[in-house]
């Protein structure tokens, strides 16, 4: 029987090596790349698949991933990354794909103890069990430190030619890469925004204030500077041209939950988007924050274009109050500001 495996391929060195080890043993490999709305750098997986000569399928999360993010059974990592639950979710989809393509087992490049939490030995075993894969999940880089898996006991894979890597050091992995002729070593990065501190603050801010937040709201977190007026109202301002375009694009989506779009007219300033009730106080606040992040405008002639529910109006800047930093903080400010305030309060 020809052994066929599905391998999770992120494009990082570990997943490349895991596939190379299996290929050395004559196993046919189908690669699977899992992406969420928070991951980036997926070109790495495409390039790695081409170099390895394997077929690559990309699967995206469904909306139930957001439930997992809101209430991870196994908690968060250092940021808003629910890695253990996320890995279980990922491997459940890999198990489904394995059955679809008639493969017998799943392979991943995890190394025992390489990452805190999700790659602790206990968690690796838990992930295998909870994903339903159990013994059909093989980690070739650390297999010798883990109980024998089904492909090993069935003789599809020779356990003696697997490895027992452990910990964060990458020296032995580099040596193995050299042995396999892998000359381009990808930079270690999981490309997941949920592990970033500042992004995580925005995620927690959203989940704290809007338990019903949808995919669109999480997409919006990837653009701009987020300033909260109150529990229901938030202003998102572009930091550069790319952000401005993204904000404009998101406003026009069918799923958009924004109530208003604001654009600087006749002066350099951010595009801004308002979520929550667009009452007079919120609009004045939004314009005031937009002016705070604008430059070189002529108070007498400049205007802000306000778009809401299909109607476009122009609001003169004259007479508008600019929100200064002290006021931003009073209103709650950005998630970063609130975080800093909490840290200052905790240390005094
Ligand atoms: S880093 Fe992100 S994508 Fe990777 S396991 Fe953790 S939550 Fe999932």
Q: How far apart, in whole angstroms, are the C-alpha atoms of residue 112 and residue 139?
A: 9
Task: State which residues form the domain around 323.
Answer: 196-347
Report whether 74 contacts 84 (CB < 8 A): yes
Q: What is the mean pLDDT of the chain?
A: 91
CB of 87 shorter than 6 A to ligand 1: yes
Alpha helices by DSSP H, 304-334: 325-330
Which of 191, 206, 239, 234 minimizes the C-alpha distance to 333?
234
CB of 86 shorter than 6 A to ligand 1: yes
Same domain, 156 and 239: no
Same domain, 43 and 128: yes
Q: How far is CA 239 from CA 59, 174, 178, 294, 328, in A?
A: 31, 39, 42, 10, 17
Tally the domains of the chain: 2
Residue whose CB lies within 8 A of the most ligand 1 atoms, among 65, 69, 82, for a mutation test: 82
Q: Name 132's Cβ contacts closer than 8 Å, sequence gap at least 6.
A: 91, 92, 95
Q: How far apart, in whole angstroms, are the C-alpha atoms of residue 257 and residue 264?
A: 21
Residue whose CB lies within 8 A of the most ligand 1 atoms, among 9, 66, 87, 111, for a mutation test: 87
DSSP three-state, residue 151: helix
Same domain, 171 and 231: no
Same domain, 89 and 225: no
- Residue indicated by tokens 């698949």: 49
Same domain, 70 and 33: yes
| pLDDT per residue as tens digits for the range 12-31 | 999 999 999 999 999 999 99
Q: Which residues of the chain have pLDDT under 50?
A: none
Same domain, 129 and 96: yes
pTM over 0.85: yes
Output the domain CATH number for residue 144: 3.40.50.620
Same domain, 31 and 116: yes
| pLDDT per residue as tens digits for the range 312-328 | 999 999 988 898 887 87
């Amino acid at each position: 029987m020809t052994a066929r495996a599905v391998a999770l391929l992120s494009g990082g060195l570990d997943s490349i090596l895991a596939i190379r080890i299996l290929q050395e043993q004559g196993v046919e490999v189908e690669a699977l790349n899992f992406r969420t709305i928070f991951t980036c750098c997926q070109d790495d997986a495409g390039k790695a698949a081409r170099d390895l000569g394997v077929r690559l399928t990309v699967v995206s999360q469904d909306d139930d991933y957001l439930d997992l993010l809101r209430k991870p059974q196994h908690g968060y990592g250092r940021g808003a990354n629910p890695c253990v639950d996320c890995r279980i979710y990922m491997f459940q989809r890999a198990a489904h794909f394995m059955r679809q393509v008639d493969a017998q087992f799943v392979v991943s490049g995890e190394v025992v103890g390489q990452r805190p939490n999700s790659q602790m030995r206990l968690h690796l075993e838990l992930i295998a069990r909870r994903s339903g894969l159990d013994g059909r999940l093989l980690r070739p880089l650390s297999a010798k430190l883990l109980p024998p898996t089904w492909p090993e006991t069935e003789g599809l894979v020779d356990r003696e030619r697997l490895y027992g890597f452990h910990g964060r050091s990458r020296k032995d992995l580099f040596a193995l890469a050299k042995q396999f002729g892998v000359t381009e070593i990808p930079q270690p990065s999981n490309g997941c925004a949920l592990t970033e501190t500042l992004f995580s603050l925005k995620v927690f801010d959203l989940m704290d204030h809007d338990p019903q937040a949808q995919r669109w709201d999480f997409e919006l977190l990837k653009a701009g500077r987020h300033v909260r007026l109150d529990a229901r109202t938030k202003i998102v301002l572009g930091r550069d041209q790319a952000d401005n375009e993204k904000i404009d694009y998101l406003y026009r989506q069918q799923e958009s939950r924004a109530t208003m779009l604001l654009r600087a007219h006749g002066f350099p300033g951010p595009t801004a988007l308002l979520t929550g009730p667009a009452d007079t106080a919120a609009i004045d606040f939004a314009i005031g924050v937009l002016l705070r992040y604008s430059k070189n405008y002529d108070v007498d002639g400049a205007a802000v274009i306000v778009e809401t529910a299909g109607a476009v109006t122009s609001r003169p800047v004259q007479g508008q109050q600019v929100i200064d930093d002290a006021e931003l903080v009073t209103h709650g400010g950005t998630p970063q500001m609130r975080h800093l305030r909490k840290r200052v309060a905790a240390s005094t």
